[in-house]
Amino acid sequence: MIHRIISRLDIKGPNLVKGIHLEGLRVLGKPELLARYYYEEGADELMYQDVVASLYERNSLENFVEKTAEKIFIPLTVGGGIRKISDIKRILRAGADKVSINTAAINRPEFIKEAAEHFGASTIVVSMEVIRQSYGSYFLFTDNGREYTGIDVKKWVEKVQSLGAGEIFLTSVDREGTMKGLDTDLINTVSSEVSIPLICHGGFGNVGHIDFLKGTHIGGVAAASVFHYNYLASNKEDPYAFSEGNTDYLKSGIVKNKGLSISELKNYMLSRGINVRHS
């Protein structure tokens, strides 16, 4: 099993943003700059997520997708506000390889089957925003972790597979943005139920957090904060890196020594006997 390292870029309007628990979004810069950097660093895939798509009921990332597809030659998944077959056509035509759906799938599960039959299962990723409840069970949420659905994650995993989803993108809202480590209890709960690729997201912060992958059939890990901080620390002299966003925060030094490069991570994985693509 070759595990993938995926860089996730949350986008609001023209900006790359990042928060904690999917909230308190802070503008960090230009998505296209970081996308190019991660590609050159050795990311296996990129994921663009329109974080205000639910608010406006549409995905507005076509322009970013077109620019990215011209210069970056690794798979690109795009999510946020995708509700119809025509939305998927539009995003794929712009240059995406896969689409990620969440709210639309929960509101109308048949959409997963329709999309998989129309575009092929490998094109359809079902995203899951999950929060642990006080009694220990994990339930699905939508709208950046704000809307409770009442759906148990294990039951949903079983259903989306039966409907033809090609991949699951699993986010622990509790851990997202904290860099304190992934929720391995959640991952174990879901991985025991899946027969399709599973991507884990939320909480990754240092090389040791990747050790859980060894010997598993989990497809890979997606991360944002840990890679963003490395980019910002590595490009502090680049005027374009700090031309937009919360520049006082970015220049304060708080990002220093908080990040990790993709190449560092992959070298560590190889040293631990964890299979990963490496140039």
H helix runs in the chain, sequence order: 31-41, 53-56, 62-71, 85-94, 103-107, 110-119, 153-162, 184-191, 225-234, 247-251, 262-271
| Known catalytic residue at 10 | yes
- Whether 129 is catalytic: yes
In degrees, to the nearest 5, what angle opens at C-alpha 264 toward C-alphas 261 and 268? 140
Q: Please give the Cα distance from 196 to 52 (Å, whole number).
A: 28
Catalytic residue among 44, 129, 167, 176: 129
Please spell the DSSP secondary structure of 169-204, one letter per residue. EEEETTTTTT-S---HHHHHHHHTT-SS-EEEES--
Binning the chain into helix, strand and coil, the percentages to the nearest 5 are: 35, 25, 35
Among residues 10, 32, 50, 167, which one is catalytic?
A: 10
- Point out the residues that are catalytic: 10, 129
